[in-house]
Amino acid sequence: PGTPLSSVFRNTNAMQHHTLEFLQALIRQYGDIVRIRFLPGTFYLINHPDGVKRILQENNRNYNKDAVDYRVLKEFLGRGLLTDDGPSWLEQRRLMQPIFHRQHLATFGKLMTEATLAMLQRWQDLAGQQQPVDIAAEMMRLTLRIAGKTLFSADLDVDARTIGQSFTKANQVITDYANAPFPPLFIPTPRNRRVLAAGTELVEVVTRLVKQRRQQSEEAGPPDLLSLLLQARNEETGAAMDDELVRDNVMTLLIAGHETTANALSWTWYLLSQHPDAEQRLCEELDTALNGRVPSIEDLANLPYTRMVIEEALRLYPPAWAFSRHALEDDELCGYHIPAGSDLFLSPYTTQRHPDFWERPDEFDPLRFSPERSAGRPHYAYFPFGGGPRLCIGRDFALMESRLVLATVLQQYRLRLVPGAHIEMAPLLTLRPRDGLPMTLHPVA
Ligand code: HEM
């Protein structure tokens, strides 16, 4: 109470135009729990790992997703796993958890390296021309293709005329909207009409896919995520998901899965281009472990440095850089009273650069994730995949995908940032490079 209106406008403007700097300045000035007023309302920014742990784990039942960013996603993802809450969320989580079991992931590893090899094939022409390539766009296309293959066995490049084209375009329009959801959808601007039409189109395509698959006998279906969703049964009641819920979850896995992983990969390429020593160490590890072979999921256990590189990229540039919660009852976080009904922001971006928990926090230093140097660090100083019961269900999938893609590409190419290119962060729904990532491709001799 009592925040002058001018400050509310100033905060809203700073949050819109200098988001990351603004959040970090607030934390420097006011500490780890900050209460701030914007035009949409009052928010608490929770930066301390103890506060994050209480929200995501210890007292997680007190917090739901009836908060700002999730309201936008709900428009498209309905009551799928990411956006649902309460008992129906728990029921879905129980049904879907086994789908992401290691045994299923193993079959997806091959699809991931195949899609990467197809991209490298295409790169042959581009490398010959010495033309800069937008690696952010390449990673987006690659992870969308992997999503199409692993979700419903469709090749979104080859099947362009049947499902691929409308699907890819609708996905693009919706992702762009979710990244900058102003003005809200109920205001009928031309852009919002396009977004709603794209939403309808995507729902139609996915509904058709689900219906077609339902008609095939279960054994005949390919072993993709869609058939696993259709086969999932509640252990006690034997109940399955209805078509609408399967549809919402196909959309959810697609939207939650591909852009996040694409950004994780893009930032990794950027960091490696700035740190030739780390790149060299990574390539040496790959040479020793793989000896020129295409990597498989079994190889990943022998690639500890590769894993640390990805972990460090996810620390500095977490694709899900912030997410929100809504408090159902009063609570206390790090000694501060949080009233019922408050909206809260958790930001992996700010917490993962917290100087009390990270030495030289802005520096790229993958070895900080070695077991020796990780000892004693609070668990929730690092949460690129969230935590507690609502931990990202695709975490292992994403970590596997990013390591396989990285290893497969590095066996054939080194990527160099175009000289003079200035790469800026755009903290939209996900943290992206603002104007793409122009790089040149250099075949390994
Ligand atoms: C949840 C990040 C990849 C599917 C989450 C959350 C984060 C996250 C932070 C928790 C959100 C919250 O608590 O509010 C990421 C990042 C990824 C990634 C950084 C890539 C680097 C994936 C992939 C999939 C996926 C590949 C699917 C194949 C989901 C789903 C949830 C989720 C369904 C909701 C889980 C639940 O609430 O039970 N993700 N994710 N994610 N993610 Fe991911």
Distance 36 CA to ligand 1 centre (A): 27
User: Rounded to 5 degrees, what are φ and ψ at 352?
Assistant: -75, 0
**Cα(53)–Cα(216) distance, rounded to whole angstroms?**
45
Contact 389, 85 (CB under 8 A): no
Q: From first to last of the 445 residues of the chain, give the pLDDT tens digit.
A: 456 777 888 877 778 778 899 999 999 999 999 999 887 778 999 999 999 999 999 999 999 999 877 888 888 888 999 999 999 999 999 999 999 988 888 889 999 999 999 999 999 888 777 789 999 999 999 999 999 999 988 877 665 555 656 677 777 787 777 767 778 888 889 988 988 888 888 888 888 888 888 887 666 667 899 999 999 998 889 999 999 999 999 999 988 889 999 999 999 999 999 999 999 999 999 999 999 999 999 999 999 999 999 999 999 999 999 999 999 999 999 999 999 999 999 999 999 999 999 999 999 999 999 999 999 999 999 999 999 999 999 999 999 999 999 999 999 999 999 999 999 999 888 899 999 999 999 999 7
Best mutation site among 83, 225, 392, 404 for ligand 1 pocket (most ligand atoms within 8 Å of CB) = 392
Nearest residue (by CA) to ligand 1, atom 13, is 386
Residue owning the nearest CA to atom 34 of ligand 1:
82
Ligand 1 centroid to residue 170 C-alpha, Å = 21
Distance (Å, whole) CA 270 – CA 317: 11
Span from the CA of 188 to the centroid of ligand 1 (angstroms): 31
CA angle, 396 then 146 then 123, to 5°? 120
| Distance from Cα 429 to the centre of ligand 1, integer Å | 13
CB count, 10 Å around CB of 251?
A: 24
Atom of ligand 1 nearest to the CA of 56: 13
ipTM above 0.95, yes or no: yes
Closest-CA residue, ligand 1 atom 2, reads 385
As for ligand 1, residues whose beta carbon falls within 6 Å of it are 81-82, 93, 252-253, 256-257, 260-261, 264, 319-320, 323, 384-386, 390, 392-394, 397-398
Percent helix, strand, coil in the chain (nearest 5)? 60, 10, 30
